[in-house]
Amino acid sequence: MIFMGIDPGLNKTGVGILEGERGRVSYVAHRLITTDSKKPLPVRLGKIISGIAEAVVEYKPEIAAVENIFTSNNSRSALLLGQARGAIIGALIAHDVPVREYSALQIKKAVTGYGKAEKEQVKKLVEMHLNILFKGVPLDVTDALACGICLTYAETGGIPV
């Protein structure tokens, strides 16, 4: 089964593609969708939508997970992140890909066993789960892969979420 994990962001959206079955998860691919902060919001959201759509067409995931919005003191940032998440979820649904949502705490706990792990710890454990080193790969991508690992375990009955 093919799984897609997504770490949403307006500037950078990480996408991780995994293959998994009960008790086993393996790396397939990743990508980073970036947008130009100088461009208007609709253009940036359009780039995110087309990047997600391209990944769906290429890898044909059977299900996807998107990280939930964390609460923030900066309401503008939270609003922009919410719009990016909405664009991502809309692109997935438009391609008939079911969507699950997980909090950062759930994702970190599934991958590291500790819900408050630091990003670098998450990256190291993602590397261990997938038996691959991600040198020079942005944390947005390893966070997306972590989200995909969480989804894979939840859907296949691996490690409980």
Catalytic residue numbers? 7, 67, 140
- The two structure tokens encoding residue 84: 């990016």
* Residue 6 parent element (H or E): strand 2-7
**Helix locations, 3-138, DSSP H:** 41-59, 75-94, 104-112, 119-130
Round to whole Å and give the CA distance between 45 and 35. Answer: 8
In terms of Cα–Cα distance, which of 53, 58, 4 is closest to 27?
Answer: 4
The one-letter amino acid code at 149 reads I
Question: Which residues 6+ apart lie within 8 Å of 120 measured at CB?
Answer: 139
